[in-house]
């Protein structure tokens, strides 16, 4: 199936061509015909499946087809509500890209910045509004936004909205929307609260379920280092120094932790930036922009800030802390290995995090390969209680060769990924990790 066969308007086809999209993704192939028919949609899918275009393209198509008839040019006719600023900006950019030849205008509003510019953009008139719930409700209450002309509403990442405590805001917003509209509802998971909310919002709907590509399979090469808390910064510096050309996303469980990592890297002469909820919007956007452009090689993020971030060419994800919610691990490592790229995800696990690792392995139904040898093995700071620690001494061959049979041949911290799986000869080279050809 091609986009042309979906019967889309010419300017949209042209824009998709400009974007380099040749074929619709599975969610686009299924959702676009439903939406072109005018039906409501329940999409069980997450970021990375192409869902933004799955809802953006048919909305642009309908609006474009209606332009000549409509008296309501530059009135808000489509509303997209999404939980985070980063997602909101990405969605707005997608509308701009897919709609570049349609003459339709969109704008984005979110909290954490002054409202003046956003209000001005609204006053100038827009066809499509992308918003986070808090700022949206705020500007609605101040009278800057009305939905008299609204035809389409999209609720994106509904389960995350719920997690972030936006449910009451959402209900208030939905109550203000005109009843005659086409509604789209997207969520990665469908717990009971979300099912209830979707029933409130949707009329006669069809459902599309896209299972996320299993990020733990095939594409993402994983490995875990057992390392003391104290030695985590040194191990990170070491890994980064070996891959100066790679774009690396480092995950930290907490905002404070993310700041500390940036500081430690700075002390080691490695430039990085953190993105999390305490950073100003400008700082977050700058860091993300530089990272996407390749000007900044290392980005340190908390889970909420990083969710949905779409960075091409991300070669390595480092879990500096293991997440205590196993699903988060899957989300994190799914940041790399997108599209056809193969990615690597390395995790640091200290003694306290071992239960998290066990939970993760239960969820993904596989053992995360151990990367036992690095220069920064536990140095007695933490008790060695686990049996698997025993053979992990530096510069000594494993007493049982078979015990490493299923491990990636990382050698040392110099994880080389799939193509170098059998290059095991330098594993125990004295003087620390061998240099790679990367």
Which residues contact ligand AMP by CB under 6 A? 21, 24-25, 28, 47-53, 310
Which of 25/429 has CB closer to ligand AMP? 25
Which of 28/414 has CB closer to ligand AMP? 28
* Residue 222 host element (H or E): strand 220-226
Which of 303/310 has CB closer to ligand AMP? 310
Looking at beta carbons, which residue is closest to ligand AMP?
Answer: 52
Question: Residue 384 in 3-state DSSP?
Answer: coil
Please report how close the Cβ of residue 110 comes to ligand AMP at its closest, in angstroms: 17
Please report how close the Cβ of residue 39 comes to ligand AMP at its closest, in angstroms: 20
What phi-psi label fits residue 396: left (phi over 0), alpha (psi between -120 and 50 degrees) or beta?
Answer: beta
Which of 332/416 has CB closer to ligand AMP? 332
Are the CB atoms for 27 and 49 separated by under 8 Å? yes
Dmax (CA) for the chain in angstroms is 79
DSSP for 29-55 reads: HHHHHHHHTT-EEEEE--TTSSHHHHH
* Residue 251 host element (H or E): strand 248-251
Please report how close the Cβ of residue 57 comes to ligand AMP at its closest, in angstroms: 9
What string of H, E and C letters represents the secondary structure of 173-195? HHHCCCCCCEEEEEECCCCHHHH
Are the CB atoms for 81 and 146 separated by under 8 Å? no
Which of 145/309 has CB closer to ligand AMP? 309
Q: What's the rounded Cα separation, in Å, for the pair 407 and 141?
A: 57
Which of 50/223 has CB closer to ligand AMP? 50
Please report how close the Cβ of residue 37 comes to ligand AMP at its closest, in angstroms: 20
Please report how close the Cβ of residue 311 comes to ligand AMP at its closest, in angstroms: 9
Please report how close the Cβ of residue 28 comes to ligand AMP at its closest, in angstroms: 6
Identify each DSSP E strand in 276-378 by its residue range: 298-301, 316-319, 343-349
Which of 50/337 has CB closer to ligand AMP? 50
The 316-319 sheet, strands edge to edge: 220-226, 343-349, 316-319, 248-251, 298-301, 272-275
Please report how close the Cβ of residue 45 comes to ligand AMP at its closest, in angstroms: 8
Q: Residue 423: exposed, middle, or buried by beta-carbon count in 10 A (0-12, 13-18, 19+)? A: middle
């Amino acid at each position: 199936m091609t986009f042309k066969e979906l019967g889309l308007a010419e300017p949209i086809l042209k824009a998709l061509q400009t974007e380099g999209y040749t074929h619709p993704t599975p969610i686009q192939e299924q959702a676009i015909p439903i939406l072109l028919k005018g039906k409501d949609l329940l999409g069980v899918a997450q970021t990375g499946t192409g869902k933004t275009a799955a809802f953006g393209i048919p909305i642009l198509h309908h609006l474009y087809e209606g332009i000549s008839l409509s008296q309501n040019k530059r009135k808000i006719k489509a509303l997209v509500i999404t939980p985070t600023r980063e997602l909101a900006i990405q969605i707005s950019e997608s509308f701009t890209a897919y709609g570049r030849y349609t003459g339709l205008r969109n704008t984005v509003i979110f909290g954490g910045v002054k409202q003046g510019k956003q209000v001005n953009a609204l006053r100038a008139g827009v066809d499509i509004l992308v918003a986070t719930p808090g700022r949206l409700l705020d500007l609605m209450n101040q009278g800057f936004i009305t939905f008299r002309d609204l035809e389409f509403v999209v609720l994106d990442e509904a389960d995350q909205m719920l997690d972030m405590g936006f449910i009451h805001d959402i209900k208030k917003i939905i109550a203000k929307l005109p009843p005659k509209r086409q509604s789209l509802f997207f969520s990665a998971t469908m717990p009971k609260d979300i099912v209830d909310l979707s029933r409130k919002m949707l009329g006669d709907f069809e459902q599309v379920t896209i299972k996320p590509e299993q990020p733990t399979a095939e594409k993402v090469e994983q490995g875990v280092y057992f390392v003391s808390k104290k030695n985590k910064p040194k191990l990170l510096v070491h890994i980064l120094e070996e891959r100066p050309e790679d774009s690396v996303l480092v995950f930290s469980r907490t905002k404070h932790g993310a700041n500390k990592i940036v500081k430690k890297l700075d002390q080691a002469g490695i430039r990085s930036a953190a993105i999390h909820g305490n950073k100003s919007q400008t700082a977050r956007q700058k860091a993300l922009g530089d990272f996407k452009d390749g000007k900044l090689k290392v980005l340190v993020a908390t889970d909420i800030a990083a969710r949905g971030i779409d960075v091409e060419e991300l070669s390595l994800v480092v879990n500096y802390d293991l997440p205590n919610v196993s699903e988060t691990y899957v989300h994190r490592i799914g940041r790399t290995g997108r599209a056809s790229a193969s990615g690597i995800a390395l995790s640091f696990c200290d003694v306290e995090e071992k239960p998290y690792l066990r939970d993760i392995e239960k969820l993904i139904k596989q053992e995360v390969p151990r990367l036992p040898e690095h220069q920064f093995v536990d140095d007695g700071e933490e008790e060695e209680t686990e049996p698997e620690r025993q053979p992990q001494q530096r510069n000594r061959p494993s007493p049982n060769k078979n015990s490493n049979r299923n491990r990636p041949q990382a050698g040392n911290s110099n994880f080389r990924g799939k193509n170098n799986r059998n290059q095991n000869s330098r594993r125990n080279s004295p003087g620390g990790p061998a240099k790679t050809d990367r």
